[in-house]
């Protein structure tokens, strides 16, 4: 609540998470002194089998949503095998993909055509290539070698075929997602930090799915963070600094004495 209030004071939109009803109720249950007796079954201990069955039922019931049951299941965690669909369904990415099913493939073709004609944004692509070398990729990323073909068959950027290592395949998938996003949103294009988000998404999702999740993160959940001015990051760092001074004054004073600023510590986490 304090975080949301501070963001409102700055005139910045509430974050999706801070404003959600489920998040608010999660905070009440996670606080030992704030949960009503039996509230949302917060004290339930899940077995792996029961938790897996519960998520299967919740996903099968969509688009109907039982917030109390979802909240209780979240306290138990999301099984690894269920995470891709949970992410897609509850983020809205699945609905966005259904509305524009060929967009990712179309963007890959657009990028490939631009590269072939020499019209590609070489500065953007060069920055992506530089950051690919700094990105730790999951070599076991789900379906890395087939994602480009499933997404539309286009491969850009000169990746090889057949004999590529798992790491090369994972880097190729990451390259395609980042180039596609830059083509999709020229006003944002590519900003450092997107590579780490996209890499994490690709560890669980197909390329097209990771692309749609990335668009939600950049455009809706963290507006203004990935921009030349990084205004969203500045706002969140300001909010975090204000909260630390109010709730952790000794820590805030110590950081100030060491000339350590909140942006120095927090920017990499917000991005």
Give the C-alpha separation, 79 to 252, whole Å. 37
Is residue 119 located within the same domain as residue 205? yes
Give the C-alpha separation, 170 to 50, whole Å. 33
Q: pLDDT digit string (tens) for 7-42?
A: 555 444 444 333 333 333 333 433 433 444 344 444
Average confidence score pLDDT of the chain: 76
**Per this entry, what is the length of the chain?**
271
Is residue 145 located within the same domain as residue 207? yes
Number of domains, the chain: 3
Average pLDDT over residues 39-46: 61
Q: What percent of the chain has pLDDT over 90?
A: 31
Using CB atoms within 10 Å of the CB of residue 90, give its burial: 0 to 12 exposed, 13 to 18 middle, 19+ buried.
Answer: middle
Give the C-alpha separation, 175 to 56, whole Å. 33
Average pLDDT over residues 75-91: 91
Average pLDDT over residues 129-146: 65
Q: pLDDT digit string (tens) for 156-209?
A: 344 444 445 667 888 999 999 999 999 999 888 898 888 989 999 999 999 999
Least reliable range by pLDDT among 85-99, 102-116, 225-239: 225-239
Q: With respect to residue 107, please indicate whether it lies within any of the assigned structural domains.
A: yes
45 pLDDT band, cuts 50/70/90, is confident
Structural domain of 29: 2-77
Is residue 235 located within the same domain as residue 156? no
Instruction: Say which CATH number the domain at 134 has.
Output: 1.10.8
Q: With respect to residue 124, please indicate whether it lies within any of the assigned structural domains.
A: yes
């Amino acid at each position: 609540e304090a975080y949301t209030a501070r963001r409102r004071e700055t005139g910045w939109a509430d974050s999706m998470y801070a404003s959600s009803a489920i998040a608010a109720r999660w905070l009440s249950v996670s606080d030992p002194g704030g949960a009503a007796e039996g509230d949302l079954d917060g004290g339930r201990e899940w077995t792996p089998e029961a938790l897996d069955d519960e998520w299967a039922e919740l996903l099968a019931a969509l688009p109907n949503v039982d917030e109390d049951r979802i909240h209780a299941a979240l306290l138990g965690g999301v099984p690894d095998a269920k995470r891709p669909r949970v992410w897609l369904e509850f983020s809205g990415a699945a609905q966005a993909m259904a509305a524009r099913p060929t967009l990712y493939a179309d963007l890959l073709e657009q990028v490939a055509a631009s590269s072939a004609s020499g019209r590609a944004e070489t500065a953007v692509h060069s920055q992506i290539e530089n950051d690919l070398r700094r990105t730790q990729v999951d070599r076991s990323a789900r379906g890395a070698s087939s994602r480009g073909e499933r997404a539309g068959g286009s491969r850009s950027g000169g990746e090889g075929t057949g004999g590529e290592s798992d790491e090369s395949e994972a880097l190729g998938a990451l390259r395609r997602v980042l180039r596609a996003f830059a083509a999709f949103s020229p006003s944002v294009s590519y900003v450092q930090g997107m590579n780490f988000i996209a890499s994490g998404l690709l560890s669980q999702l197909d390329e097209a799915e990771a692309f749609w999740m990335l668009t939600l993160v950049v455009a809706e959940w963290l507006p203004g963070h990935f921009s030349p001015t990084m205004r969203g990051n500045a706002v969140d760092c300001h909010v975090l600094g204000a909260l630390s001074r109010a709730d952790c004054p000794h820590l805030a004073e110590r950081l100030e004495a060491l000339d350590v600023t909140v942006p120095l510590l927090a920017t990499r986490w917000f991005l």
